[in-house]
Amino acid sequence: MSWISWAELLAGGLITGGIYALVAIGLNLQYGLMRIMNISHGEFLMLGAFLTWWAHVQWGLSPLLLVPVAFVLLMGLGMLVHVLCFRRLAARAPNVDVFEARSLMVGFGLMFLVQNAALLAWGGDLRGYEYLADPVQVAGMRFTGNKLVLFAVALALSLALIALLRWTLLGKAVRALMQSPTGAQLVGINTARLHPLMFGIGLGLSGVAGALLSMTYEISPSMGEPYTITALIVITLGGFGSIAGSLAGGLLLGVVEALGMHFGSPSLKMLLSYAVFIGVLIWRPNGLFSKKR
């Protein structure tokens, strides 16, 4: 292989990893802050994809204009889901372990609820459209324009959220709550407002990922579940509660899968992904990018 072929292979993995990171950051934000393992996270990615496809096909709106719309709509829906479901669970659970178990069960229910609602609304057929599908040459490498846009937006949003959490007052409150919920409440942090807001932001990021994916791949009501599983692998790589670790883990997993696809098959790609997942759980359970304690 020439160096250009290697560069295209690695760059393609990073592009895929950018989406993985965006989805994982949203899920990690929910678990790290509220201990909600939202197994239905990928279904809201699917909703973002279908809403973008539907608005583009029906009204001819640019998918890029619909990206912020998908974020706002899914963020609002996420806040509503948190208030109606997870806030009640938290109020009635005797301890964190019981709350995690119950929230996992609610997540499964939400997953099937959203999937079947999408089936009723749009049917089970694959959907898609062409947008920025012409090839673009960058430093001798060729990519479709929509994949470059996908990577740029996913990376920009991931870095923006990391900056928000690191350098703003809101971010300090979130990090304080992740480190010590009791201590955060003692210093006056309003968890009743912060929890639904951050849960909504997590689902909003998932909706953005779906909107971006609709530009490059065919979509279906069952597309969300694999992204939830991938997000769990990424979170394990980066460390639970580590947003920067989710970005690094997503990019790494994208490269690993790209190498597996090139030198083997989709089966080898999945084999490598799960081998890395199990290996990190055994030898570095806090994540590859977490600080040693």
Q: Is the pTM of this model over 0.75?
A: yes
Which CATH number do you get for residue 89?
Answer: 1.10.3470
Report the pLDDT value the prediction gives residue 174, as an integer from 0 to 100: 86
Report the pLDDT value the prediction gives residue 62, as an integer from 0 to 100: 93
* Element housing 118 (H / E): helix 96-122
CA angle 37, 40, 45 (to 5 degrees): 120
Contact (CB, 8 A) for 51 and 70: yes
Query: Is 293 part of any domain?
Result: no
Residues β-bridged to residue 127? 219
Tokens of 247: 């970005």
Q: For 6-34, give the DSSP string.
A: HHHHHHHHHHHHHHHHHHHHHHHHHHHHH
Give the integer Cα–Cα distance in Å for 31 and 241. Answer: 7
Query: Is 272 part of any domain?
Result: yes
Contact (CB, 8 A) for 64 and 149: yes
Query: Is 18 part of any domain?
Result: yes
Query: Is 255 part of any domain?
Result: yes
Report the pLDDT value the prediction gives residue 231, as an integer from 0 to 100: 93
Query: Is 289 part of any domain?
Result: no
* Domain extent at residue 113: 3-283
Report the pLDDT value the prediction gives residue 293, as an integer from 0 to 100: 39
* Residue burial 252-270, b: 16+ Cβ < 10 Å; e: rest: bbbbbbbbbbbeeeeeebe
The model's pLDDT over 34-73, given as tens digits with 9 standing for 90+, comes to 888 899 999 999 999 999 999 999 999 999 999 999 999 9
Query: Is 290 part of any domain?
Result: no
Report the pLDDT value the prediction gives residue 40, as an integer from 0 to 100: 94
Report the pLDDT value the prediction gives residue 121, as an integer from 0 to 100: 92
Report the pLDDT value the prediction gives residue 81, as an integer from 0 to 100: 95
Give the integer Cα–Cα distance in Å for 91 and 239. Answer: 27
| SS3 label, residue 168 | coil
Instruction: Work out how many domains the chain is built from and give that number.
Output: 1
Length of the chain, please?
Answer: 293
Q: What is the mean pLDDT of each run of 10 residues along the chain (293 residues)?
A: 81 93 93 87 96 94 94 96 91 87 93 95 91 84 90 94 90 82 77 89 95 94 93 90 90 91 79 87 81 46
Tokens of 47: 């909703």
Report the pLDDT value the prediction gives residue 1, as an integer from 0 to 100: 65
| SS3 label, residue 287 | coil
Q: Which residue has the tokens 């239905």?
A: 40
Query: Is 288 part of any domain?
Result: no
Query: Is 181 part of any domain?
Result: yes
Q: Which residue has the tokens 């993995």?
A: 13
Tokens of 15: 């592009």
| SS3 label, residue 142 | strand
Report the pLDDT value the prediction gives residue 291, as an integer from 0 to 100: 52
- Secondary structure of 59-96 as H, E, C letters: HCCCHHHHHHHHHHHHHHHHHHHHHHHHHHHHHHCCCH
